[in-house]
Chains A and B, each alone.
Chain A
Amino acid sequence: MNSTLSSPPWTCPFCALLCDRFGVDAGETLKPAGTTCPRATRALAQFGSAPSQATPLVNGQPVAVDAALDAAARWLRASRQPLFGGMATDVAGTRSLYRLANACGAIVDHAHGRALMHGLTALQDRGAFTTTLAEIRTRADLIVCVGSSAPSTRHPEFFARCGVGERASLQREIVFVGGGIDPALSGTASDGVSTRAIPLQGDLYDTIAALNTSLSASLSARPPRGLHPELAALVRRMLEARYTAIIWTPADLPGEHATLLVEGIDRLLKTLNRTTRAGGLALGGDDGGATVNQTLTWLSGLPLRTGVHPGGLAHEPHRYDTARLLADEAVDALLWIASFTADLRPPETAVPLIVLGHPGLTAACTDRSGPTVFIPVSTPGIGSAGHMFRADGGVVLPLAPVYADSLPAVTNVAASLASRLAEVAA
């Protein structure tokens, strides 16, 4: 088997870059063809070359899917405040889960909710100035990567997707603020790419503030005083650049108040755009985070960390945090969706747990003390078609399956649960 069984090219669903120029080979497990991306390799290795035969479980015992659905529906019905967590799914899954959330009055959070909220609350308070992969590829002569972790740590193909090193005609400088030079860039130095790393001045919060101070001073013709010379030089470089792209990875931003960092970057970008051009890109939204946030926002009007309550919708970016709700015993049932990999294990909890998950979560769902329903589901892009959002916002890619799955898709399971809840209500 080379590439895929269907005619459109394959889209990799395992990080929010959604690479669509490599294929899938089958051995004992699946593996990528045409890339060495470690993230894709690791994720594909979690799938056999043929559809999984995993069976549903209720409290560790194998059951027919209908029995598992009946139990899950019973628990959701009995719950006074259910939580939908994980939410690693595609557009179709989110559509059906939102219907189900309406039927049982659920709160919806995502496995990466905390990292997503850095960007979302900054957006709600200040806004944003954004750019996309093709814009960076075409015009960014300066790329500034902010934070201690290199972009390729979580998104190995990032620089390749931006065309770094492919075109000698576009001279680029890539600057790492507070981190080392990304090892993914080794070997690109001769191709019109120069790199350097600038240490933090204080912590990252201090450094972003210093950059803003220096930039404002530069624009008002007041000589900035007492500034770290390397940061001052970076500000001058950003003002000279035709197009600066600022890149950060929300999941790796330090501290409890990373929203303030994103706000600081927003201020930097908007000030730069008064005289030159610049845009920001957050490398987040993996495991369907970007997809679910977009879909939930258009359906309900409100983004993730929203609850459907009898009195209407409530959006609580801080309070509706999965870990916090479970610790406070503010929810009494958890529906955990993890359809992409077995890496998103459900959190430890004593409340009734329903997992719609990758077959690799079977063991984790067998050895639990609390009541547990496990329904293995199809992975979009492996066993079923689907749609997902790329990290940079507006681009949606179709996912083509590698094989026709024996497992149901999340959207089918959620629809079955919703119809069971509706039957009782009727």
Chain B
Amino acid sequence: MSTFRLRGGRVFDPANGVNGQIADICVRDGRIVELKPGECAGHEYDVSGMAVMAGGIDMHSHIGGGKVNLARMLMPEDHRLRTREAASNPLELASCGVCTPGTLATGYRYAEMGYTAAFEPAMIASNARHTHLEMGDTPIIDHGAYVMLGNDELFLRMLAQGTDFERIRDYVGWTMNATKALGVKVVNPGGISAFKFNQRSLDVDEAHVHYDITPRQVLNVLARSLTDLGVPHPLHIHASNLGVPGNIESTLATIDALQGLPGHLTHIQFHSYGNEGPRKFSSAAERIADAVNANPNISIDVGQIMFGQTVTASGDIMKQVRQADYASPRKWIAGDIECDAGCGVVPFRYREQSYVNALQWTIGLELFLMVKNPWQITLTTDHPNGGPFTSYPHLIRLLMDKSFRDEQLARLHPDVAQQSPLGSMTRELTLDEIAILTRAAPARLLGLRERGRLNAGAAADIAVYRENADREAMFTAPEYVFKDGELVARNGRIVATPAGGTHYVEPEFDRSIERTLEDYSDHHLALNFRHAAIGRDELCSCCNGGRLLPAACGLHHHDPHDPSGQQS
């Protein structure tokens, strides 16, 4: 039985309304427990002068699966940049790369900066085994994935045929069970499929050229399905018209399509563009922020861009092919996948002196600073699409330090630097708010009831940061990181590499839907339907024996007006 006490730290635990109070955190057998002040703990860590938070949770990070591995294969030059690191720590197996690191490096780099969970947001159902295999080889951190629906031919066909909502809902439930998903993501609703029929754009109320359905219908049926199934994570939405100037209208129409149902709009920076000004490209961050502030059913993650080389990997083949001419270096991958989805992998270099890139950078930061309720927004770069997750400490400093932010702004394309409202924004996020954006809010949005919090009974995923006015340095190398009570990183160095667990849900559904699925599979797909579902035992072998962590379904979605949601 291992027991320890973190003594005298400043605790930031927004899920329990704790904002910087000095308190002890005690851990026994992987869980946080209450110990009386004098009660003996096996080990004591003196963490006075340090900030104690739950382990970080990245709810949108492309860490595993087909397109991520294609991105690795496409970018050997990225991987030559960090080939030497492993040699310095015998606990680490060799694994390299910056914008698309190997899975081993992904686990090590997340853990050493205080993150204890990351979620792959775009698992293609036909690629689910691959995704779980990769996540299983991502050491230390917990993981899970959102399965993509809304571009698979079966779903669109059912919708086009006017199939009963309950049957479609059963199909959604079956898919989540079969792929061991934690949520459902829709990417460019209907658009990935439409591209297979040579349709080159699809706005929210446009008709799919073959199925004659609209993205609005897709969004609405998926959101209703998840509500009915009691899936904690709202529909995860990569909206129509990613990256297109003027796409603010599509994004607002997407919110409207939900009719008040919960929805999570992901990497919203890429969907917050106006088409004003001499370049017909402008920030619509304020209108997005207003919409988020006015619609408590909506949550967002930002997808902040960071300057430098990265590679974009997306299921949105329609939009990726459209911007493939901007690939840097000039090479790219696209693919149509199994009547299910698609992918596009396009390398990209975000440059400070590019008007477009500079504006994207300011739009992301404006969104962070204009959304009022921090429980509605989470911190992401849409790794690797906006930039690698290893840039989070830099991003945190941009949010917490106005003078630092102004210095960076001054380096940008002069038109952007002069015109952006960012320069006049004085808000600096607090440690409490950072703890919401990076742990408490993601945990709540995903329905992880034992993570992202530090009360007795919670899992002991804990990060302890030495206070430093330079927030980038502070968040780069925490003093201690614990995963389920085990010390896994010390001062930015990995000291243990346990297997992380898999978070998923198993919503109830009517199994008679399987007859429809098998018939469709036999006539259209290239796989025996009896191989379609991943069982628990198989998941266990995919995930290297990491723990299976099913989240409960049937809970109500969070109410942003509850007490903990009003702390901002």
Contacts and interface: CB of A to CB of B under 8 A. Distances in A.
B528 A129 contact: no
Contacts of B80: 315
B153 A313 contact: no
A273 to B, nearest CB: 7
- A21, A299, A395: residue with the most chain B Cβ atoms closer than 10 Å: A395
A276 B336 CA distance: 13
B96 A302 contact: yes
A9 interface: yes
Given A123-B74, A130-B334, A302-B79, A313 B96 contact: yes
B272 interface: no
B549 interface: no
A35 interface: no
A128 B133 CA distance: 24
B69 A398 contact: no
A242 B197 CA distance: 7
A5 interface: no
Given A21-B528, A132-B337, A298-B137, A98 B93 contact: yes
A124 interface: yes
B196 A243 contact: yes
A409 to B, nearest CB: 12
Interface in B98-122: 100-105
A389 interface: yes
Contact of B94 (A9, A102, A243): A102
Contacts of A385: 541
Contact of A128 (B72, B86, B335, B541): B335
A301 B74 contact: no
Contacts of A9: 528, 530-531
Contacts of A13: none
Contact of B74 (A8, A99, A124): A124
A282 to B, nearest CB: 12
A299 B527 contact: no
Contact of B66 (A124, A127, A128, A394): A394
A326 interface: no
Interface in B62-103: 64-66, 68-70, 72-74, 76, 79-80, 83-87, 93-97, 100-103
A242 to B, nearest CB: 7
Given A127-B332, A137-B524, A315-B79, A397 B338 contact: no
Contacts of A389: 130
B469 interface: no
A395 B76 CA distance: 23
**A contact patch SS:** mixed
A130 B73 contact: no
B94 A395 contact: no
A75 B346 CA distance: 44
Contacts of B72: 297-298, 301-303
Interface in A154-187: 161-162
A262 B551 CA distance: 46
Contacts of B85: 312
A313 B79 contact: yes
Interface in B301-359: 321, 324, 327, 331-340, 345
A294 interface: yes
B338 A132 contact: yes
Nearest to A131: B336
B83 A134 contact: no
Contacts of A124: 73-74, 76, 331
Contacts of B275: none
A20 B336 contact: no
Interface in B511-528: 524-528
Nearest to B542: A387
Contact of B73 (A21, A161, A303, A312): A303
Interface of A: 8-9, 11, 20-21, 91-92, 95, 98-99, 102, 120, 123-135, 137-139, 161-162, 242-243, 270, 273, 276-277, 279, 294-295, 297-303, 308, 310-315, 385, 387, 389, 393-398
Given A302-B79, A312-B94, 14 more contacts: A11-B531, A99-B93, A127-B345, A130-B335, A135-B337, A297-B102, A301-B95, A301-B101, A312-B86, A313-B96, A387-B541, A394-B65, A396-B127, A398-B129
Interface of B: 64-66, 68-70, 72-74, 76, 79-80, 83-87, 93-97, 100-105, 124, 126-127, 129-130, 133-134, 137, 153, 195-198, 321, 324, 327, 331-340, 345, 524-528, 530-531, 538, 541-542, 544
Which 4 residue pairs spanning A and B have beta carbons closest together?
A: A301-B102, A312-B83, A133-B526, A394-B66
